[in-house]
């Protein structure tokens, strides 16, 4: 039994699918997943509905800040590992309202660590030795790079620049402290920008796909030259599986896609894919919808991950190039209109209006 926080979100939901597909592919015995998710705006049970319906996965709707709910889940299901995906993760939202990020990412992680440590302390023998707590984090804790700086490694000093990244940095430090102070068996992964199926459409790639199809402007912040290292979400899921199996306790592993791409190039690539797969009725290219808007405050210029450690010590490398991954992603959004309609609620539309209404072209 594995317990996954945030397992109905973007990366967590993809992980749930990947977990069962991987075990079937490798001929591994079935192992149930328990998804512990608050089901906020970005959590969608439809993402994992087939696995919930089959009984392979179980959903508990609860907040990681609710220690009693966490305690009851651990006592009931007795997991051999906790995979901690749950987080508020959108930089723009953290700028508008940082309080929720501190509460979920720091207080929530503390609450989860406390209950997990108590649970682990009560285990005995092989069960205690085998238990793992894997914390999923982000490259944004390292701050911003110039065009000539080396990529982030596991020894790069933390320098978070947004309320979101600061809250994730705080959670990373808590996880580290619980290992070094209490001997709690932790693993941490810091990933670059994920993309792929089931991505909530406020983020860059799904926003561009859906705005393009709706005939809306494609808002690009600033000059569009900010660089991110793009990681296909299923590659990330595989990395987490391998770190869970082979990672050294207390260690951090950076997971990168080895795909440094400027934001504007991401957008034009999506436009070209859509030109080929779903041409506009008027024959015009989707690139004509691109609009440059006022940059967000404190926008980090460049992120890049050096994945040498995970490649050397774990044996993981990304399977997808950006070209292959973005093709799969665009096709998924074209083919899954039902999922899209369920997440584009009134609350989502209100948020988009709040974030973009005052940005000058």
265 an active-site residue? Answer: no
Q: What is the pLDDT of residue 356?
A: 46
**Cα angle, residue 78 at apex, residues 77 and 80 outer, rounded to 5°:** 120
Tell me: pLDDT of 352 over 50. Answer: no
Q: Which residues contact 270 (CB under 8 A, 6 or more apart)?
A: 205, 208, 209, 212, 286, 326, 330
Tell me: pLDDT of 349 over 60. Answer: no
Average pLDDT over residues 58-76: 97
- Catalytic-labelled residue, pool 63, 115, 140, 235: 140
232 an active-site residue? Answer: no
pLDDT, tens digit (0-9, with 9 covering 90-100), for 189-248: 999 999 999 998 888 999 999 999 999 999 999 999 999 999 999 999 999 999 999 999
Return the minimum-mean-pLDDT range out of 167-176, 191-200, 320-329, 339-348: 339-348
Q: How much is the CA Rg of the chain, to the nearest whole Å?
A: 20
Look up residue 18 and give its DSSP letter. Answer: H
Residue closest to 82 by CA, chosen among 51, 97, 60, 50: 60
Average pLDDT over residues 293-312: 93
For every residue of 100-147, DSSP letters joined together read HHIIIIIIIHHHHHHHHHHHHHH--HHHHHH-EEEEEEEGGGG----T
Average pLDDT over residues 271-282: 98
Average pLDDT, whole number, for the chain?
93
Average pLDDT over residues 57-77: 97
Place of tokens 């015995």: 29
Report the SS3 class of residue 285.
Answer: coil
198 an active-site residue? Answer: no
CA-to-CA separations, 246 to 44, 101, 127, 141, in angstroms, rounded: 30, 31, 17, 24
Task: Check: CB of residue 60 under 8 Å from CB of residue 69.
Answer: yes
Residue closest to 134 by CA, chosen among 86, 189, 71: 189
- Catalytic-labelled residue, pool 119, 164, 178, 221: 164
Q: What is the pLDDT of residue 95?
A: 82
- Catalytic-labelled residue, pool 139, 172, 202, 306: 139
CATH number assigned to the domain covering 2-195+233-257+300-319: 3.40.50.720
Q: What is the pLDDT of residue 345?
A: 67
% pLDDT > 70, the chain: 95
pLDDT, tens digit (0-9, with 9 covering 90-100), for 139-150: 999 999 999 999
Strands 218-221 and 186-191 come out as unpaired
pLDDT, tens digit (0-9, with 9 covering 90-100), for 7-64: 999 999 999 999 999 999 999 998 999 999 998 877 888 899 999 999 999 999 999 9
Tell me: pLDDT of 359 over 90. Answer: no
User: For the chain, what are the domain ranges?
Assistant: 2-195+233-257+300-319
pLDDT band of 361, cuts 50, 70, 90? low
Q: What is the pLDDT of residue 44?
A: 86
């Amino acid at each position: 039994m594995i317990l996954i926080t945030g397992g109905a979100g973007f990366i967590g939901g993809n992980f749930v699918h990947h977990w069962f597909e991987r075990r079937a592919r490798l001929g591994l015995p079935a192992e149930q997943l328990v998804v512990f998710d608050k089901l906020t705006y970005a959590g969608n049970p439809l993402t994992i509905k087939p696995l919930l319906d089959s009984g392979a996965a179980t959903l508990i709707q609860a907040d990681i800040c609710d220690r009693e709910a966490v305690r009851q889940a651990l006592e009931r299901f007795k997991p051999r590992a906790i995979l901690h995906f749950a987080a508020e993760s959108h930089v723009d939202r953290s700028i508008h309202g940082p309080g929720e990020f501190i509460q979920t990412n720091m207080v929530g992680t503390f609450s989860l660590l406390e209950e997990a440590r108590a649970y682990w302390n009560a285990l005995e023998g092989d069960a205690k030795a085998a238990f793992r707590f894997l914390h999923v984090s982000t490259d944004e804790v390292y701050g911003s790079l110039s065009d000539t700086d080396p990529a982030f490694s596991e020894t790069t000093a933390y320098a978070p620049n947004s309320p979101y990244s600061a809250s994730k940095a705080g959670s990373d430090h808590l996880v580290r402290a619980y290992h070094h102070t209490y001997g709690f068996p932790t693993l941490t992964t810091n990933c670059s920008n994920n993309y792929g199926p089931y991505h909530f459409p406020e983020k860059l790639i799904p926003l561009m796909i859906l705005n393009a199809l709706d005939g809306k402007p494609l808002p690009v912040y600033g000059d569009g030259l900010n660089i991110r290292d793009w990681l296909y979400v299923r590659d990330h899921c595989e990395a987490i599986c391998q770190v869970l199996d082979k990672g050294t306790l207390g260690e951090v592993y950076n997971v990168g896609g080895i795909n440094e791409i400027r934001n504007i190039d991401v957008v034009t690539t999506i436009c070209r894919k859509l030109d080929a797969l779903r041409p506009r009725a008027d024959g015009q290219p989707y690139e004509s919808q691109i609009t440059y808007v006022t940059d967000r405050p404190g926008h980090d210029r460049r992120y890049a991950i050096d994945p040498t450690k995970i490649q050397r010590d774990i044996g993981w490398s990304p399977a997808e190039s950006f070209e292959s991954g973005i093709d799969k992603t665009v096709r998924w959004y074209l083919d899954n209109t039902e999922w899209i309609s369920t997440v584009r609620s009134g609350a989502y539309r209100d948020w988009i209006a709040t974030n973009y209404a005052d940005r000058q072209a």
